[in-house]
């Protein structure tokens, strides 16, 4: 974590050459995300001061301004920043049931990128002044340019991502992202409104001592997860591990990447596939994890290789330091029947649509 005066804007431009035949489209897109992040950050920082932001959407705050819930505000801000600047041809958001096609009003040539976004992840934490985040994921469209986007453009496996990142609105606000050439973190100087490169080349320690899982759901967990948790708690070698769970994926991930750890959201709780969304949460975090030398799986297979069947599909998520995820796999592999067949899921989904 060296001192650096390189700004995010400069970094984006300096690294544009990582992409052969770059036209600057991705740079413009990342710059729009940066702008939206600053706007959302301002609003997040007023949380508590402007108390009605947590109230009904129609309420006025103490300054007499109409206020919106923070997650609605964040969703609208990102969508606006991306559509008005015409830097994408389509957006899918965790907050919206359907994807949003973007039509060009100004550019004859509309961007070839689609963005998938979780505008305010862990938003229930906002009520108690605990860190929340934004997660984004960028793909090249697969349908021909110049035609309206289709579902196919969004239902791509995570290994096709061009870029992904998150923003953590914590003690300081950080934007962390990858374009497939490592992971870099930028910290916002709130006085200047500028992100500076503060964490170049972020990497997961190979081993760790932190496990992050909502143990309140223990009785519902698959046996492999229960066994692994018992292993983490055993007094042997360098164990027991420390348990840390914020309930805000971005913060749990961020801490584990810096210190070494594993995050698990298994199946068997709120849904048979866990809680987290493949497209808005697991794929972008999985891409970042791998780029930082960590791993992201569903307990059996690589997250980035899953062929998605639905915009809001959920998957179990095991993510973190390589040796910890591998150890968890050893326990999971004893219960092969718990493995999910995603091709079968897709077949069922498609046959249901006919």
Binding site for ligand AHM (CB under 6 A): 94, 118, 121-123, 214, 247-249, 252, 275
What the block records as the tokens of 68 is 């919106």
Q: Which residue is nearest to Mg ion (CB)?
A: 121
> Does 118 contact Mg ion by CB under 5 A?
yes
> Does 95 contact Mg ion by CB under 5 A?
no
Report d(CA 248, CA 78) in Å as an integer: 20
- When CB distances are held under 5 to 8 angstroms depending on the partner's kind, the choice from Mg ion, ligand AHM, none that residue 52 binds is none
Report d(CA 314, CA 265) in Å as an integer: 11
Residues 117, 135 contacting (CB under 8 angstroms): yes
H-type helices in the chain, by residue range?
A: 8-14, 25-45, 70-84, 151-154, 223-233, 249-259, 283-291, 322-332, 342-353
What is the closest distance, in whole angstroms, from the C-beta atom of residue 54 to Mg ion in the complex? 18
Q: Which of these ranges, 18-26, 116-124, 166-174, 323-331, lies near Mg ion under the rule CB under 5 A?
A: 116-124
Instruction: Count Cα atoms within 13 angstroms, Cβ side, for 313.
Output: 23
H-type helices in 3-146, by residue range?
A: 8-14, 25-45, 70-84
**CB closer to Mg ion out of 175 and 285:** 285
**CB closer to ligand AHM out of 27 and 266:** 266
- When CB distances are held under 5 to 8 angstroms depending on the partner's kind, the choice from Mg ion, ligand AHM, none that residue 134 binds is none
Report d(CA 43, CA 70) in Å as an integer: 8
> Does 25 contact Mg ion by CB under 5 A?
no
> Does 121 contact Mg ion by CB under 5 A?
yes
What is the closest distance, in whole angstroms, from the C-beta atom of residue 89 to ligand AHM in the complex? 25
**CB closer to ligand AHM out of 94 and 153:** 94
Write out the E strands in 63-172: 90-93, 100-101, 113-121, 132-140, 163-169
Residues 86, 93 contacting (CB under 8 angstroms): no
**CB closer to ligand AHM out of 13 and 130:** 130
Q: Which of these ranges, 41-49, 97-105, 110-118, 198-206, lies near Mg ion under the rule CB under 5 A?
A: 110-118
**CB closer to Mg ion out of 177 and 241:** 177
């Amino acid at each position: 974590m060296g001192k650096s005066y390189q700004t995010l804007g400069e970094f984006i431009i300096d690294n544009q050459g990582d992409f052969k035949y770059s036209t600057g489209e991705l740079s413009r897109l990342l710059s729009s995300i940066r702008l939206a992040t600053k706007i959302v950050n301002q609003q997040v920082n007023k949380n508590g001061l402007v108390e009605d932001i947590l109230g009904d959407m129609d309420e006025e705050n103490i300054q007499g301004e109409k206020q919106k819930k923070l997650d609605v505000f964040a969703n609208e801000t990102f969508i606006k920043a991306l559509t008005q600047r015409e830097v994408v041809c389509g957006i899918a958001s965790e907050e919206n049931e359907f994807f949003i096609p973007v039509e060009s009003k100004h550019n004859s040539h509309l961007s070839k990128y689609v963005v998938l976004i979780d505008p305010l992840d862990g938003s229930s934490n906002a009520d108690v002044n605990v860190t929340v985040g934004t997660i984004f994921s960028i793909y090249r469209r697969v349908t021909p340019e110049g035609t309206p986007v289709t579902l196919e453009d969004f239902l791509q496996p995570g290994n096709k991502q061009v870029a992904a990142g998150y923003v953590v609105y914590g003690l300081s606000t950080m934007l962390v992202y990858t374009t497939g050439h490592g992971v870099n973190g930028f910290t916002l100087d709130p006085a200047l409104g500028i992100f500076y490169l503060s964490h170049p080349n972020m990497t997961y320690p190979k081993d760790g001592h932190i496990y992050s899982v909502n143990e309140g759901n223990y009785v519902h967990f698959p046996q492999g997860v229960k066994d692994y948790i018992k292993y983490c708690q055993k007094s042997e070698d360098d164990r027991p591990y420390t348990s840390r769970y914020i309930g805000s994926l971005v913060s749990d991930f961020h801490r584990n990447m810096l210190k070494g750890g594993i995050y698990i959201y298994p199946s068997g709780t709120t849904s048979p596939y866990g809680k987290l969304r493949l497209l808005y949460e697991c794929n972008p975090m999985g891409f970042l994890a791998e780029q930082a030398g960590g791993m992201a799986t569903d307990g059996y297979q690589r997250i980035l290789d899953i062929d998605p069947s639905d915009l809001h599909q959920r998957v179990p998520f095991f993510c973190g330091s390589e040796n910890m995820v591998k150890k968890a796999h050893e326990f999971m592999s004893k219960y092969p029947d718990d493995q999910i067949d995603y091709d079968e899921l897709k077949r069922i989904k498609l046959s249901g649509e006919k």
